[in-house]
Amino acid sequence: MDLQGEFEFLEFNVGKRKDDYSSTKIQVVGETEEHLQKILSELLRSGAMLQETPEVEYQASPGDMMLPDEFYCTTHHPTWVYMKGDWVEVERLMMDKHIIVEPENNRAYCKPISTVRMGDLVVVGDRGVRIKHPERPREGVGVFEFMNSDVSPEKPVTSIIKEIARSLKSNASNGGKIVVVAGPAVIHTGAAPYLAEMVKLGYVDAVLSGNALAVHDIEYAIYGTSLGVNLEQVKVQSPRNHIAAINQVLKAGSIKALVENGKLTKGIFYELIKKEVPFVLAGSIRDDGPIPEVIMSSNEAQARYREIVKDASFVIMLASTLHSIAVGNMLSSQVKTICVDINPSVVTKLSDRGTSQAVGIVTDVGTFMPLLVNELKG
Q: Which residues ranging from 271 to 310 are in contact with a copy of itself (CB under 8 A)?
A: 282-290, 296-299, 301-302, 305
Q: How far is the CB of 316 from a copy of itself (least distance, A)?
A: 16
Q: How far is the CB of 308 from a copy of itself (least distance, A)?
A: 12
170 binds a copy of itself (CB under 8 A): no
335-354 positions binding a copy of itself, by CB under 8 A = 342-345, 348-349, 352-354
Across-strand partners of 29? 6
CB atoms within 10 A of CB 152: 10
Q: How far is the CB of 172 from a copy of itself (least distance, A)?
A: 22
**Residue with Cβ nearer a copy of itself (288 or 311):** 288
CB 242 within 8 A of CB 221: no
221-240 positions binding a copy of itself, by CB under 8 A = 226-227, 229, 231-236, 239-240
Integer Cα distance of 305 and 311 in angstroms = 11
CA nearest 211: which of 282, 267, 271, 272?
Answer: 282
Peptide bond into 278 cis (omega under 30): no
In degrees to the nearest 10, what's the CA dihedral of 289, 291, 293, 299? 0
Q: How far is the CB of 266 from a copy of itself (least distance, A)?
A: 16
Q: How many residues bind a copy of itself (CB under 8 A)?
A: 111
CA nearest 43: which of 159, 156, 109, 129?
Answer: 129
Integer Cα distance of 248 and 264 in angstroms = 10
CB atoms within 10 A of CB 285: 5
Integer Cα distance of 228 and 68 in angstroms = 52
CB 126 within 8 A of CB 45: yes
Across-strand partners of 79? 131
**Residue with Cβ nearer a copy of itself (17 or 33):** 17
Q: Which of 155, 166, 200, 263 binds a copy of itself (CB under 8 A)?
A: 155
- Residue range at the interface with a copy of itself (CB under 8 A); choices 49-57, 81-89, 171-179, 246-254: 246-254
Q: Which of 6, 260, 307, 311 binds a copy of itself (CB under 8 A)?
A: 6
CB 178 within 8 A of CB 372: no
**Residue with Cβ nearer a copy of itself (24 or 106):** 24
Q: Which of 39, 129, 143, 331 binds a copy of itself (CB under 8 A)?
A: 143
69 binds a copy of itself (CB under 8 A): yes
Across-strand partners of 179? 206, 315
CB 340 within 8 A of CB 316: yes
**Residue with Cβ nearer a copy of itself (69 or 104):** 69
- Residue range at the interface with a copy of itself (CB under 8 A); choices 49-57, 196-204, 244-252, 259-267: 244-252
CB 244 within 8 A of CB 223: yes
Q: Which of 65, 148, 170, 261 binds a copy of itself (CB under 8 A)?
A: 65
Q: Which of 23, 53, 159, 265 binds a copy of itself (CB under 8 A)?
A: 159
79-138 positions binding a copy of itself, by CB under 8 A = 96, 98, 112-114, 136-138
Q: Which of 178, 362, 373, 376 binds a copy of itself (CB under 8 A)?
A: 362
251 binds a copy of itself (CB under 8 A): yes
CB 151 within 8 A of CB 347: yes
- Residue range at the interface with a copy of itself (CB under 8 A); choices 153-161, 165-173, 260-268, 271-279: 153-161
Burial classification of residue 142, based on how many CB atoms lie within 10 Å of its CB (0-12 exposed, 13-18 middle, 19 or more buried): exposed
**Residue with Cβ nearer a copy of itself (160 or 259):** 160
28-57 positions binding a copy of itself, by CB under 8 A = none
